[in-house]
Amino acid sequence: MDQNKFYMLQALKQAEIAFSEDEVPIGAVIVYNNRIIVKAHNQVETLKDATAHAEMLVITQAEAFLNDWRLNECTLYVTLEPCIMCFGAILLSRLKKVVYAAKDNKIGSHDYFINYCENKNISNNIEIEGGVLEELSTDLLKKFFINKRKEKV
């Protein structure tokens, strides 16, 4: 199995945990030296914290695990394209690579990634890859929001 798919499946497992906890089903893992060092899922509702996105949580955990805020040898796998807030944390933590599953057409930051990486004055270029196991992530998100709409009726 392709390495990106393997790690994304682990992020999807985290998204499924979020789903079971009535959180928006987004999961993330960070890989360092070809192994997962941390994993998390959205906990916005649980923690009553708008910033408790899966990406923010794994970045904080990875920094603690490595005892360094610089994650320049790490890759983030996340089931939905990061939002602008998470993109800021990705930049500041200097992640080497970001791999995401589904595109977020509402608040995704892919275009910001592209513009950022094309800026020749920037010292840390981030490699970005999207669409890895996109359908699995999209299906889980659709299922979650269909259920949410049914609850409102």
The whole-angstrom separation of Cα 54 and Cα 86 is 9
The whole-angstrom separation of Cα 122 and Cα 145 is 38
Closest CA to 6 of 40, 31, 23, 42: 31
Catalytic residue among 16, 23, 45, 55: 55
| Helix, strand or coil, per DSSP, at residue 101 | strand
Tokens describing residue 147: 């259920």
Query: For residues 131 and 11, is the Cβ–Cβ distance under 8 A?
Result: no
Element housing 80 (H / E): strand 74-80
CB atoms within 10 A of CB 143: 12
For the question of residue 55 being annotated catalytic, the response is yes
The catalytic residues are 55
